[in-house]
Structure 1
Amino acid sequence: MQDLSIAFTRYRKYIFYLLAIYVLGWGFTAYKSVFLGLILGTLGSLWILFTLARKNKQFTKAYEEGRTVRSLGTMSRMAVAGLAVLIVMEYPENFHLGSMIIGLMTAYFVIMIDFFFQKLHK
């Protein structure tokens, strides 16, 4: 469990670095809607990562106590994605849909890339 919480902390740190880069891109380039879409999607992805980490702790605790867990939060993760899409559809002049979708997948990309780097490091 300790290794997993360390990994989630590392993932959050990488995502915050990416968010800082996106904010700089929004501020200094002409692609404002693309970077706003990336920011919105990445914030949604970060929220999904937080809920995934919380549900993982709950699942581990329940397993150690011999209880069952009702859900791992799939519906709440889908709701975050749906909310992001609704925001983009409401303000299409400010947000780019494709970059928002890429932003929503940021946490999964970070997890996969970190996995490969950790395997190479060991």
Structure 2
Amino acid sequence: MPELQQLFNRHCKYIIYLIAIYVLGWGFTSYKTIFMGLILGTSVSLFNHWNLVRKTTLFGEAASSGKKMRSFGTMIRMCSAILAVFIAGKYPNLFDLISVLIGIMTAHAVIIIDFFLQQIFKSHIKREER
């Protein structure tokens, strides 16, 4: 599954760039709670994405060797999102709850945007080959 690892590496790079932008926003604007919420939510989103890629790789290895796998770690991903929301609720002076929720969805948005960009890039290359 090297293509899955390439996808994850690209997604990881984009998400880390977003976190860097959020850190700059936290440092240079007065919207500190919003950017801290985005940082927390996006960090959890990156962890969940990493966990899913790791479990998918393990599932592929187990399937090719004829073994069974227990789960894809859905509980861990849900618990990490719940923990982030709990932290935001516990410390509302540091984290904005809505920003945490938006941050948790960041990996999904990055995956969708990356998919469309790759499709546009592939169609552009095909047109140049003609």
Smaller-chain TM-score bracket: over 0.9
Q: Distance in 1 between matches of 2:67 and 2:112?
A: 30
Q: Distance in 2 between matches of 1:17 and 1:90?
A: 28
Q: Distance in 2 between matches of 1:94 and 1:4?
A: 36
Number of residue pairs matched by the alignment: 122
Residues 1-122 of structure 1 correspond to what in structure 2 (within 5 A)? 1-122=1-122
Secondary structure at 1:72 match in 2: coil
For structure 2, list consecutive stretches of 5 or more residues without a partner in the other structure: 123-130
Deviations 1:90-122 (A, max 9, x none): 101111010100000001100010001011111
Q: Distance in 2 between matches of 1:104 and 1:46?
A: 8
Q: Distance in 2 between matches of 1:27 and 1:101?
A: 21
For structure 1, list consecutive stretches of 5 or more residues without a partner in the other structure: none
Secondary structure at 2:56 match in 1: helix
Percentage of pairs with the same residue: 54
Q: Distance in 2 between matches of 1:38 and 1:55?
A: 25
Report the Cα offset of residue 6 of structure 1: 0.2
Report the Cα offset of residue 71 of structure 1: 0.5
TM-score, length basis structure 1: 0.98
Secondary structure at 1:67 match in 2: coil
Q: Distance in 2 between matches of 1:118 and 1:68?
A: 33
Q: Distance in 2 between matches of 1:91 and 1:9?
A: 32
Deviations 1:43-99 (A, max 9, x none): 100110111111011001001111121101110000000100110111011110101
Q: Distance in 1 between matches of 2:69 and 2:117?
A: 32
Higher relative contact order (CA 8 A, sep 6+): 1
Q: Distance in 2 between matches of 1:98 and 1:85?
A: 9
Larger Rg, first or second structure (1 or 2): 2
TM-score, length basis structure 2: 0.92
